[in-house]
Homo-oligomer: A and B are copies of this chain.
Amino acid sequence: MGVTERKERHKEELKRDILSAAKELFTTQGLEATSIRNIAEKIEYSPATIYLYYKDKNEIIHALHQEGFKMLVSHFQVLATVSDPFERLKAMGRAYTRFALENQDVYELLFVMKEPLLHVESCVEQGWNEGDRAFDILMQTVKECQAKGYFQTLDTEKVSFVIWSTMHGLCTLRTSGHLGHVTVARESGHDLDALMTSAYETFVVMLERLKS
């Protein structure tokens, strides 16, 4: 039955076409423009057809979510070569902020929106595996830092969560525009990215001082 196989492949192909159309719309036009109707138009099918391949929009968003996570994890993968754990931690922070600022919509998809996570809950099979992996990388690094005298007597998971929170807060307050409304940056050079970066450096110094 080579015929059914070919058809099967065609089906998978269309499913991927839908996803890549969604991906392109999402990355070039942003979240707003990524509607079922726009996707349908791009692949030259009826909007209703999309529902034969994806249950609803959340399923598409979830698929984009996974792709976005692969992007992020790949950004981290490079840093595994840095042997000193604290240096690695610093580099991870820089990579994280850079990723968030350069891919704001993707970042929002990964860490701000609630919809993609809701879909994860329905697939009980495996939790948020990509997310877990990224967090495990962070925890592993924190653990190694602790072995070198940093964050002594503190719980690894909680320290990791605090660090993640700080990075997430820095990034979202920057991209949401709240940073620009509160700081002296308004009257000064108003280079918000530079201000956020220097705030990150301050955070690094704070962490550095936590070595016993």
Contacts and interface: CB of A to CB of B under 8 A. Distances in A.
Interface of A: 111-114, 117-118, 120, 127-128, 131-132, 135, 151, 154-155, 157-159, 161-162, 164-170, 172-173, 176-179, 181-184, 186, 198-199, 202-203, 205-206, 209-210
Contact of A154 (B168, B186, B206): B206
B199 A206 contact: no
19 contacts: A111-B176, A112-B172, A117-B178, A132-B182, A155-B202, A158-B198, A159-B202, A161-B202, A162-B166, A162-B170, A162-B199, A162-B206, A164-B173, A165-B166, A165-B170, A166-B169, A168-B168, A168-B173, A206-B210
Given A172-B172, A181-B128, A186-B127, A199 B165 contact: yes
A127 B184 CA distance: 11
Given A170-B165, A172-B168, A176-B117, A127 B181 contact: yes
A114 B177 contact: yes
Name the residue among A117, A151, A182, A183 with the largest chain B CB count within 10 angstroms. Answer: A182
